[in-house]
Structures are given as structure tokens and as C-alpha cells.
Amino acid sequence: MTTRLDTSFAALSDATRRGVLEQLGRADASITDLAEKFHMTLTGMKKHVGVLEQAGLVTTKKIGRVRKCQLGPRRFEEETAWLERYRQRWDERFDELDRVVEELTRKDEER
Amino acid sequence: MTARIESEPGPMKNRTTVERKSDREVVVTRTINGPARIVFEAFTKAELLKRWWVPKSMGMTLLSCEVEPRVGGKYRLVFDHGGPEPAAFFGTYVEVKPYSRLAWTNEEGGEGGPVTTVTFEEKGGKTLVVLHESYPSKEALDAAGTGAADAMVETFDQLDELLVALGESSGQ
């Protein structure tokens, strides 16, 4: 779980790779298609797809001489769930803090 | 840079954002409705800290809370979380600048604990709180977000929502 999250975060930290995921969310594409779309060399795109593949976000298979890419079994959800849990914890805490601070601020002004 | 999450602001409620800045750092921001002096006091006075650090929905009761907010000073919070032994959270203050900056270590987990840095920035009577948690390794950070304690939080969140809903429907 931990290493999977790490590779996913690393994979998602790049704008091109996020773009590739968005693109593949609409339709499967070959590495050549993606390289053209993102104005990159084939080698550059292969590297990006490799990172996404390692993170399980993309799968590729060779059909004839073309390597087709599609979204992998894992999506953004797992990563966002992690952040959301973290956020909720702090959000609740800060809601309570807000209550305490508002009360003290009122008292302060009355003085 | 990476994934970022924001809450929907409710009426009069400010937004809490969380951003994973790198493999081992998370930054939480929130504007609190009050001056920096009071927000800082709420962080550094035990009797105030007690009132907000452990929201009811966490399902834990604070048994004791001791803070010594000076560089090198210690803090120690002891909770009853329903287990056989109470849980203690403790560490040392490494930076204390009244009304603007606080930093402390989290030593209950041994070496793997994060350093927490909080800055307070007042603007128009409100205070922007930026809380930065820096873990020694990415493994430590991942563990912090996926532990059993979080599952508890979610469970109690749901209970809380239920109670609010019940309270509203009973004509409060």
C-alpha cells in the first residue's frame, strides 16, 4: 500500500502525465498518438507512460507493431481518499478551534 | 504541485485545505475567525488547547494536557481511546515566537515522528494558520494517513452526522 501510494504520487506530480491520464480517460491511445498530442518525442512519451504503468495507473499492450495504452485498474480515488482523510481530521479540529477563538474574541471585545 | 483537496465552505465556515507537498511533507491551511494573539493562545495554553485538539468525533477523551511553550519545553497529551491503555502523545517545542510561529517534535512514535511547524498570519482580524508536517521518511507519512485511527475518525464522523441530523429533525 505504502509503496503503491508513493509511486502514484510521483506519477501524478507531473503535468504531462496527468494530461496523459485525462486523455486516456476519454479514449485509449497509442504511444505515438500521445507523443503527438503532447508534442513530445516518442522516447520522452515512453518514459512518462512507463512511470504511469509502474504506478498501476496505465496498462499497455502490444497490438501488432503498436503499443496501446489504456487506464490501469487504479485511479485517482485512492490518492484523493488518503488526502481527504487527512483533511477531515484537521477540518474537525479547526472547527473546534474556530469555536474557541470566536468565544475568546467576543469576550476580548466586551472587555 | 501534487493532488490537493479543499472542503466545501459551509455558512460561516472557512475552508481547510490539505496539500501533499512532497513525499514526506503535508501542508494544512485554514483561516480562523479571530486575531493571531488569541489563536496562538489557543495553541499554547493547556486549558484552551484541551477544548479543541480532540474533537468529539475522534472518539477519544483527553485525560490530561500539559504544555510548556518555550524552546526546549515539553508537551504531553494523554488520551483514553477505548483501548486497555491510555495513549500518550508528547514531544518538545523547538520554536516558539509569540503570535507568529510554533514548532514541535512528535516523539511518541520514536524516530519516525514528524516535526510540526505552525505559522499564524493575521489579516483583517482573522488569522491564516499554516500547519506544516514534515516526516523523516515517506513511509512514515503514508502510515500517518492510512492508520487504524483514521478508520475510527470516519466511523465517528458518520455517527456525528447522524446525531446532527437527528438533532435537526427533532426541531432544534
Cell of A8: 502514484
Query: pLDDT tens, B41-63?
Result: 999 999 999 989 887 777 788 89
Q: Are residues A67 and A80 in the same domain?
A: no
Q: Give B152: exposed, middle or buried? Use CB within 10 Å, 0-12, 13-18, 19+.
A: middle
Task: Give A16→chain B minimum CA distance, Å.
Answer: 12
pTM: 0.62
Quick one: how far is CA B13 from the chain centroid? 17
Give the Cα separation of A29 and B109 in Å (integer). 46
Q: Are residues A25 and A39 in the same domain?
A: yes
Cell of B138: 515517506
Q: For position B7, what pLDDT does the model report?
A: 59
Using CB atoms, which residue from A84, A100, A105 is nearest to B5?
A: A84
Give the Cα separation of B12 and B157 in Å (integer). 20
Q: What is the tally of structural domains in chain A?
A: 2
Q: Are residues A82 and A101 in the same domain?
A: yes
Q: Are residues A23 and A63 in the same domain?
A: yes
Place of cell 496527468: A18
Q: Are residues A84 and A57 in the same domain?
A: no
CATH of the domain at A22: 1.10.10.10
Rounded to 5 degrees, φ, ψ at B139 are -60, -40
Q: Are residues A94 and A66 in the same domain?
A: no
pLDDT digits (tens), chain B, 172 positions: 455 666 555 556 788 888 888 878 889 999 999 999 999 999 999 999 998 988 777 778 889 999 999 999 999 999 887 778 888 889 999 999 999 999 999 988 777 788 999 999 999 999 999 999 898 877 777 666 544 344 334 444 444 454 455 555 544 3
Q: For position B148, what pLDDT does the model report?
A: 36
Q: For position B169, what pLDDT does the model report?
A: 52
Residues 27-66 of A with CB under 8 A from B: none
Cα separations in angstroms, A16 against A10, A99, B9, B99, B106: 12, 43, 31, 41, 37
Enter the CATH code of domain B4-58+91-169.
3.30.530.20
Q: Are residues A67 and A81 in the same domain?
A: no
Q: Are residues A64 and A48 in the same domain?
A: yes
Q: For position B6, what pLDDT does the model report?
A: 65
pLDDT digits (tens), chain A, 111 positions: 455 566 777 787 788 888 898 888 888 899 999 999 999 999 999 999 999 888 888 889 988 888 899 887 665 566 677 777 788 889 999 999 999 999 999 988 887
Task: Sketch the domain layout of chain B as residue ranges.
Answer: 4-58+91-169
Q: For position A35, what pLDDT does the model report?
A: 94
Q: For position B150, what pLDDT does the model report?
A: 43
Quick one: how far is CA A70 from the chain centroid? 16
Mutate to test the interface with A, among B1, B2, B26 (most CBs of A within 10 A): B2
